[in-house]
Amino acid sequence: MINKVQSFCFLAALFLTASVNAQKTDTGNWFLYFGNQKINNRWNWHNEVQYRNYNFAGDLEQLLLRTGIGYNLSENNNNLLLGYAYVYSEPYIAGTDNKTNTNEHRIFQQFITKQQFGRVNIQHRYRFEQRFIEDDFKMRARYFLSLNVPINKKEMDKNAIYASAYNEIFINTEGPSYFDRDRIYGGLGYCFNKNFKVEAGLMSQILPNSSRTQFQIMFFNSLPF
């Protein structure tokens, strides 16, 4: 087990080194925590914190807090969820080193379904958001497709090292630009056990008129109540 942990830490360190070296360019860093607590066979509680930086750490871009209550339509799958998110942002004023700040409140509805083909674990997530940004109101649809593939084991269980990838596209319900953004990610993860895993990788965020690279460090907790 120690050798496996060391191997994962070495690979994660390579990602980390690439991120630190890229700070002088346009690479940011996101620290993400995802909790999904099983209440019973049908109900679950989702809880999430995202701390996003323009650099590796210390230059806040955005703080996101998200929570929700979900219901499984079938055993451990096909989950419907109603949730709320608070988003605090500190965008830079164009052409300056000064920042402003915005507060956003979101209500969202989502549906998640999972599939497995051999070692490949697939997740589809469909999310619809109602966004209250200061004095503005917007709506947005999102589609998220992710793949997790264990490398040293047949399943995503204890001590498994796995490859991870996802793509998420965001679509506005009103113009002038219906395309909001697209996120493409690839990384490596390690399962400490069936309820806790950690992951590190790089995400490219494609916007209508620009793109940006983010290093991500993610923690996943599914300990049941």
**Placement of tokens 């995503």 in the chain:** 156
Residue type for 196, please? Answer: F
pLDDT computed for residue 57 by the predictor:
82
Separation of alpha carbons 135 and 174, rounded Å: 17
14 phi, psi to nearest 5 deg: -65, -45
125 phi, psi to nearest 5 deg: -130, 125
> CB within 8 A of 74, min separation 6: which ones?
none
Q: What is the pLDDT of residues 46-105, one digit of tens each?
A: 999 999 999 988 899 999 999 999 999 998 899 999 999 999 999 999 888 899 999 999
Separation of alpha carbons 71 and 52, rounded Å: 29
For the cut 70, the answer to whether the pLDDT of residue 19 exceeds it is no
114 phi, psi to nearest 5 deg: -120, 150
For the cut 60, the answer to whether the pLDDT of residue 16 exceeds it is no
pTM exceeding the 0.85 threshold for the entire prediction: yes
**Placement of tokens 């506005």 in the chain:** 172
* Adjacent-strand bridge partners of 87: 64, 104
Lowest-confidence pick of 20-24, 38-42, 126-130, 150-154: 20-24
- On whether the CB atoms of residues 110 and 124 are closer than 8 A, the answer is no
- The third-level CATH classification (topology) of the domain covering 2-221 is Lipocalin (2.40.128)
pLDDT computed for residue 175 by the predictor:
86
Share the mean pLDDT of the chain: 90
216 by Cβ neighbours in 10 Å (0-12 / 13-18 / 19+) ranks as buried
97 by Cβ neighbours in 10 Å (0-12 / 13-18 / 19+) ranks as exposed
